[in-house]
């Protein structure tokens, strides 16, 4: 997958930070343990001295073999004693080693495989993380959580046009969104949030995004106009397909405000292909729209709209614009 240089640099930064943290923590642990058990610290020093003597014996020459043999035995004996002292005090040798985030590559990001250096999965994941971070930078992600979603603005009066009050409907949607976020997996269903503006579609989809990100998934949230303009720019750029592949590869894609993008042949095809490709690879999408289905059919095609409706759980939003009530 092609990523921009900035993304690659950021991913390497993420991995290096992890490595440094693991090693700093190990060093602190080591100091603490040696303060607690000075004997262990002394033994460790002797072991290093032994290694130094081995190197010296090699340089010095003479009866190298017997000298080496003796040093090897000394070193093993010291090692055993060291382990014993640690165990007696409730520690193991591994307590003094760094606890790396990725034990496959010890947070170096690379592995040796059949004499070839290959990228470790943790570095690939860090790139996805960095790419999502980058794309989400300008979205109000942090501001929207389930905790600060209030039902008090939704009326309990039933309007004849709907089967239940906005309050009841929103309680139901809120609980379904929480469940969706809680049980999110790569096989989760798609969601279509439909209804007029100001009823909480963006807020709830961002709340889902926050929870799903916390679980370690790569989530991208973007309004449809932004997606279209990114894809349009990429059409002509040399660093081709980097963000497009992110829209396809991220674990959850949230397309907000579908239908507010400037409608062109390009935008229609781009959005249609994006949705379709994600369906084919079985990756979940959340689509929000202020349009009625008939309006979407006019903007896109009947076939596209019936495909969305057929492939997504539908949450209908109705009631009075909450943003007006809040004022
Ligand atoms: Zn790794």
User: How would you write the chain as a 3-class SS string?
Assistant: CCCCHHHHHHHHHHHHHHHHHHHHHHHHHHHHHHHHCHHHHHHHHHHHHHHHHHHHHHHHCCCHHHHHHHHHHHHHHHHHHHHHHHHHCCCCHHHHCCCCCCCCCCCCCEEEECCEEEECHHHHHHHHHHHHHHHHCCCCHHHCCCCCCCCCCCCCCCCCCCCCCHHHHHHHHHHHHHHHHHCCCCCCCEEEEECCCCCCHHHHHHHHHHHHHHCCCCEEEEEHHHHHHHHHHHHHCCCCCHHHHHHHHCCEEEEECCCCCCCCHHHHHHHHHHHHHHHHCCCCEEEEECCCHHHHHHHCCHHHHHHHHHHEEEEECCCCCHHHHHC
Band (pLDDT 50/70/90 cuts) for residue 194 is very high
pTM for the predicted model, two decimal places = 0.68
How far, in Å, from the CA of 126 to the mean position of ligand 1? 10
How far, in Å, from the CA of 127 to the mean position of ligand 1? 12
CATH placement of domain 138-326: 3.40.50.300
How far, in Å, from the CA of 282 to the mean position of ligand 1? 26
How far, in Å, from the CA of 94 to the mean position of ligand 1? 19
Indicate the range of 25-34, 124-133, 270-279, 309-318 predicted with least confidence: 124-133
How far, in Å, from the CA of 115 to the mean position of ligand 1? 17
The answer, yes or no, to whether residue 327 has pLDDT greater than 50, is yes
How far, in Å, from the CA of 15 to the mean position of ligand 1? 8
């Amino acid at each position: 997958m092609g990523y921009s240089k900035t993304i690659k640099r950021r991913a390497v930064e993420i991995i290096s930070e992890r490595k440094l943290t693991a090693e700093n923590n190990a060093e602190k642990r080591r100091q603490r343990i040696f303060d607690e058990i000075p004997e262990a610290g002394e033994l460790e020093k002797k072991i290093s001295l032994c290694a130094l003597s081995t190197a010296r014996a090699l340089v010095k020459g003479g009866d190298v073999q017997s000298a080496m043999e003796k040093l090897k035995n000394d070193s093993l004996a010291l090692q055993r004693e060291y382990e014993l002292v640690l165990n007696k005090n409730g520690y193991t040798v591994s307590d003094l080693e760094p606890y790396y985030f990725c034990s496959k590559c010890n947070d170096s990001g690379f592995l040796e495989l059949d004499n070839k250096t290959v990228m470790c999965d943790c570095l690939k994941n860090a790139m996805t993380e960095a790419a999502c971070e980058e794309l989400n930078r300008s979205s109000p992600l942090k501001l929207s959580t389930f905790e600060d979603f209030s039902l008090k603005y939704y009326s309990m009066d039933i309007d004849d046009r709907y089967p239940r009050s906005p309050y009841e409907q929103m309680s139901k949607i809120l609980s379904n969104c929480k469940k969706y976020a809680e049980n999110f997996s790569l096989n989760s269903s798609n969601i279509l949030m439909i209804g007029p503006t100001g009823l909480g579609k963006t807020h709830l989809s961002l709340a889902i995004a926050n929870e799903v990100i916390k679980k370690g998934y790569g989530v991208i949230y973007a309004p449809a106009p932004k997606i279209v303009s990114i894809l349009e720019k990429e059409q002509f750029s040399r660093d081709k397909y980097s963000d497009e592949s992110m829209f396809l590869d991220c674990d959850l894609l949230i397309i907000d405000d579908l239908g507010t993008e400037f409608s062109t042949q390009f935008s229609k095809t781009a959005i249609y292909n994006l949705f379709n490709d994600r369906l084919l690879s079985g990756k979940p999408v959340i689509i929000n729209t202020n349009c009625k289905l008939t309006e979407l059919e006019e903007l896109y095609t009947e076939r596209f709209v019936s495909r969305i409706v057929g492939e997504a759980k539908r949450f209908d939003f109705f009631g009075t614009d909450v943003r007006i009530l809040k004022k």
